[in-house]
């Protein structure tokens, strides 16, 4: 059977389509249901057996040729449409693109990442704990007595089920010791716990209801206050980007004995006295102390054999000192102009 007449006819149809819509109609006519090309291919079954192979081959070649012609015509219409769009009045292809507005890291995240890197380089492991905490881990395990004012609802967000929003990261001390000693682990133990904490606090320049701490815990044989001071000095030197002097004053926290307030020499006046350090030359930076035997025992560690130190750094406080930020409310105020001043991009 001669297919050349059909070929001419179909190629002419395609060539004659004036636009994309007309071409789509030709496509349907040839390849849709009962499409002419498909019908031709199918008609092979009505032929005598000996004619079938030759016809089938010719019909398939023709089908492919027509498909190709359709595709070429379609691409031509698409290219024309794009060109029209690009040259339409209000589109200027030479206009520079809009710069991509990438986010930057929050200053607390920047400092937290640096601290985690630093402590990891000193052999600490990072731990995590729940923000919804039990009374036991937040208070009892830490030797905080039942009548301690921190337990009052003026200080702590209590939940209806008796749990609470953790008021500090210290509960993760006992959680971590318990988890490790359960599996037969023995000190040395060095952990840091960055995390968010909550207090029922009236918000002002220096107080937030949600804030970030970084807890540290070291347990080993013969751990001393000297180890604590050395570790804190190393850490503050890196974070404040300068050499630092520190001093310890007594501070009371039920989960350490002795407990300290650690001060750093004022970065603003270098120790001479200024309004930031209230003329004292020192700034209170973090509470710390030697881990109380009760806490070690709760964690499954024998206080006769091991000692340890712990610290609880208020991350906002460190960030404020480092960047000279004077209002803690900036951190969660959502003012993009504040946030854009810290240009570190996410890693």
Residues of this chain that interact with ligand DAH (CB under 6 A) are 168, 170, 215, 253, 256, 259, 287-289, 310-312
Of the candidates 265, 258, 301, the residue with the CA atom closest to the CA atom of residue 284: 265
Q: Give whichever of 10 and 309 is closer to ligand DAH, judged by the CB atom.
A: 309
CB of 180 to ligand DAH, least distance (A): 18
CB of 245 to ligand DAH, least distance (A): 21
How far apart are alpha carbons 306 and 292 in whole angstroms? 11
Q: Give whichever of 106 and 317 is closer to ligand DAH, judged by the CB atom.
A: 317
| Residue sitting closest to ligand DAH (CB) | 312
CB of 234 to ligand DAH, least distance (A): 17
Q: Give whichever of 267 and 287 is closer to ligand DAH, judged by the CB atom.
A: 287
Which structure tokens are listed for 28?
A: 């349907």
CB of 259 to ligand DAH, least distance (A): 6
CB of 132 to ligand DAH, least distance (A): 17
Q: Give whichever of 73 and 310 is closer to ligand DAH, judged by the CB atom.
A: 310
Crossing angle between the packed helical segments 107-121 and 315-323, to the nearest 10 degrees: 110
CB of 301 to ligand DAH, least distance (A): 16
How far apart are alpha carbons 130 and 172 in whole angstroms? 8
Sign of the Cα pseudo-torsion (135, 141, 147, 149, in order): negative
CB of 186 to ligand DAH, least distance (A): 21
φ/ψ bin of 183: left (φ > 0), alpha (ψ from -120 to 50), beta (otherwise): alpha
Q: Give whichever of 17 and 308 is closer to ligand DAH, judged by the CB atom.
A: 308
Q: Give whichever of 70 and 172 is closer to ligand DAH, judged by the CB atom.
A: 172
Asked whether the beta carbons of 282 and 265 are under 8 A apart, the reply is: yes
Sign of the Cα pseudo-torsion (191, 192, 196, 198, in order): positive
Q: Give whichever of 107 and 308 is closer to ligand DAH, judged by the CB atom.
A: 308
């Amino acid at each position: 059977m001669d297919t050349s007449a059909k070929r001419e006819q179909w190629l002419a149809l395609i060539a004659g389509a004036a636009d994309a819509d007309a071409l789509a109609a030709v496509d349907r006519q040839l390849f849709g249901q009962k499409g002419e090309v498909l019908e031709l291919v199918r008609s092979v079954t009505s032929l005598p057996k000996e004619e079938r192979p030759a016809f089938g081959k010719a019909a398939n070649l023709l089908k492919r040729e027509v498909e190709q012609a359709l595709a070429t015509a379609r691409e031509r219409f698409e290219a024309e449409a794009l060109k029209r769009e690009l040259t339409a009045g209000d589109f200027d292809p030479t206009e520079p693109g809009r710069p991509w507005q990438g986010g930057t890291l929050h200053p607390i995240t920047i400092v937290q990442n640096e601290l985690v890197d630093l402590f990891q380089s000193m052999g600490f492991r990072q731990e995590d704990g729940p923000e919804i905490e039990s009374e036991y881990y937040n208070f009892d395990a830490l030797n905080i007595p039942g009548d301690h004012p921190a337990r009052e609802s003026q200080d702590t967000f209590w939940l209806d089920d008796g749990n609470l929003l953790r008021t500090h990261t210290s509960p993760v001390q006992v959680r971590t010791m318990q988890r490790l000693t359960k599996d037969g682990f023995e000190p040395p133990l060095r952990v840091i716990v960055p995390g968010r904490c909550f207090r029922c606090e009236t918000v002002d320049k220096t107080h937030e209801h949600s804030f970030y701490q970084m807890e540290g815990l070291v347990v080993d044989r013969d751990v001393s206050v000297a180890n604590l001071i050395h570790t804190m000095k190393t850490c503050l030197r890196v974070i404040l980007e300068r050499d630092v002097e520190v001093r310890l004053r007594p501070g009371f926290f039920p989960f350490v004995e002795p407990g300290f307030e650690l001060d750093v020499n004022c970065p603003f006046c270098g120790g001479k006295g200024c309004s930031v350090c209230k003329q004292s030359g020192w700034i209170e930076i973090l509470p710390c102390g030697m881990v109380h035997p009760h806490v070690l025992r709760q964690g499954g560690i024998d206080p006769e054999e091991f000692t340890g130190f712990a610290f609880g750094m208020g991350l906002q406080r460190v960030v404020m000192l480092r960047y000279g930020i004077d209002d803690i409310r900036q951190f969660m105020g959502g003012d993009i102009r504040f946030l854009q001043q810290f240009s570190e991009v996410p890693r």
